[in-house]
Structure 1
């Protein structure tokens, strides 16, 4: 068994716009990473660079255009290595329901709890990026 992080939020843009924002490096760099690379295809490798000390890699473990995007971490922090995180999307009247999960944490430790908080802040940044065009400078992101 493991521990899991779940966050749901509504973003008032199309599923296509949310999918691109969570899977395209040019968008990831505007709300999450410092610089990233990868293509949203099954088994493709993503490089998620935050600093020289946090230069992580994952592979696409699930992808369905405009509906879901999940990455299984392959080379990251020891707490993140066994984990997979992802986004499942549904249209709801005037918005997209984003169902975020980060699963298979081995320990309910400080890093797990801090990551849950950081994801909540980052997902709020994603919402503001998509709805209002706000890009928080990388050094000011949690």
Structure 2
């Protein structure tokens, strides 16, 4: 059952105690992404660029940058991944506050149904985004095999 034409969406909003340019780098730079999400990564933060997100084995996924505004927003539309992820889009909107805190409004939209994979992915995003927060704020890198 679909709620609307866009499907279902995962949402997570949270603060990171850092300026938006540093948060933006952590969500767009492959050398930073590998410290909190994929095992390996390539890509350039510009609209139309392709990102390769490699998680090991058959999990060699690709997505295209569909929005990229320096220190403000970054969205990727998945093009080659697991069936439930294909044609979904995830993104980050950044809102810097006066006190040096950046609020992230994260979404992962376009899910066809709220199946077990949707629910598991929502949970995994929460854990991974906490890893992003700890990486940016404290320099903590969780080994890839412990990110679950």
TM-score range, shorter chain: over 0.9
The answer to whether the aligner puts 1:4 opposite 2:9 as a matched pair is: yes
The CA deviation at 1:107 is 1.1
Counterpart selection for 2:105 from 90, 96, 99:
99
Over 3 Å off, 4+ runs: none
Aligned equivalents of 1:93 and 1:126: distance in 2? 21
The answer to whether the aligner puts 1:113 opposite 2:94 as a matched pair is: no
Pairwise CA RMSD of aligned residues?
Answer: 0.6
Aligned equivalents of 1:58 and 1:79: distance in 2? 14
Counterpart selection for 1:81 from 61, 83, 86:
86
The answer to whether the aligner puts 1:49 opposite 2:54 as a matched pair is: yes
The answer to whether the aligner puts 1:23 opposite 2:35 as a matched pair is: no
Structure 1 counterpart SS, 2:63: strand
Query: TM-score normalised to the size of structure 2?
Result: 0.95
Q: What residue number does 2:140 align with?
A: 134
Structure 2 counterpart SS, 1:30: coil
Work out whether residues 82 and 106 of structure 1, in 8 Å CA contact, stay in contact via their aligned partners in 2: no
Structure 2 counterpart SS, 1:62: strand
